[in-house]
Amino acid sequence: GKALPPAGRQPRDLARIGAQLAGTPVQSTYSEVEQQNRELAQALAELRERQDDLLALTRELEDTNRGVVALYAEIEEKAERLRKADEMKSRFLSNTSHELRTPLSSIRALTKLLLDRMDGPLTEEQERQVSFISNAANDLSELVNDLLDLAKIEAGKVEVNMAPVNITELFSALKGMLRPLTRNSTVELLFVEPPAQVALTSDESKVTQILRNFISNALKFTEQGQVVVALLPPAADGRVTFAVTDSGIGISPENQQLIFEEFSQIEHPLQRRAKGTGLGLPLCRKLATLLGGEVTVRSAEGEGSTFCLILPAAP
């Protein structure tokens, strides 16, 4: 078995241990334990309180989630209704435009025959009245065409035919097309010779339609001065920019987004005299988007405007 420690040393060790125990303040140890118990009880109370708060917050979050889900369902339902209403509007515009085109074509053809004296001479008053009819038919025909184009774009039925564009020939065609608007006018229409090195592949008919609208608007809202059509030098990103600058009435900053909203027009005496439909610029923006480009405007009231068509050089 194990050897026991020498018997003579045991009393001394016991005496030492007894002295240590006697020197330990018992009351102090009890106080520390009680303090720790109180702190522990307080911590447990705070923990229970936080747990209750967390539980209440969880219930509140669950209620909020249920509300959000219900709101999303309601929004989705309303969005579906709006989509259907938009489709119905597009169909209505398309059908109405087609129905109006035939009688309008007949009216325009008949008034042209009368003005060309195909059925005999007209008195001055008759010619004036027939001219009113012809102008009204042309204005209505323009509105119908814009409505039909918008309906086609919204229905996704517009075809884009990309091909190389001869910009010199494009400017020449626009000049001939818009010459009647500058007769007996105090406004000069200028086309700047385009840089020869600029190459563009796009849908020429849609580019022409956008620029024709820009130029027509510029001539309407410029009482005197110039309307300048130019192809700007190529940008660093390779995009091609057409700019139509006028010295007309200009557009205030707060109205520069309004003009791109359908059927919206700026209040101005010249606007009332010009009689626009409020569809031209919204249509231009949508056509530019179809071509992968954008339409921008820089203007200040009373200082003229510059409308830009910015297109990728190639699709």
Q: What is the 3-state secondary structure (H, E, C) of 41-72?
A: HHHHHHHHHHHHHHHHHHHHHHHHHHHHHHHH
Q: Determine the Cα angle at 205 with ends 203 and 208, to 5°.
A: 110
Q: What is the reported pLDDT for 11?
A: 59
Cα separations (Å) of 185 from 47, 75, 229? 86, 53, 17
- Report residue 241 as tokens: 């920019």
Q: Which one, of 164, 183, 290, 288, lies nearest residue 307 by Cα?
A: 288
Distance (Å, whole) CA 94 – CA 150:
9
Predicted pLDDT of residue 2: 44
What is the C-alpha radius of gyration for the chain, rounded to an integer number of angstroms?
Answer: 41
Write out residues in the chain with pLDDT < 50, as ranges: 1-2, 4, 8
Distance CA 204, CA 240 (A): 14
- Six token digits for residue 107: 């009216």
Spatial CA neighbour of 203 closest among 295, 297, 312: 312
- In words, the CATH class of domain 1-158 is mainly alpha
Amino acid 4: pLDDT: 47
Helix ranges (H only) for 166-260 are 167-182, 204-220
Domain boundaries, the chain: 1-158, 163-312
Tell which residue, 143, 119, 121, 179, has the closest CA to residue 280. Answer: 143
pLDDT digits (tens, 9 = 90+) for 70-106: 888 889 888 888 888 777 776 776 677 677 778 888 8
Dump pLDDT digits (tens) for 28-50: 577 888 888 888 888 888 888 89
Integer Cα distance of 104 and 110 in angstroms: 10
| Domain 163-312 of CATH type 3.30.565.10 | yes
What pLDDT is stored for residue 167 in this prediction?
93
Exposed e or buried b per residue across 290-313, where buried means at least 16 C-beta atoms within 10 angstroms of its C-beta = ebebebebebeeeebbbbbbbbee
Give the span between the Cα atoms of 189 and 171, in whole angstroms. Answer: 12
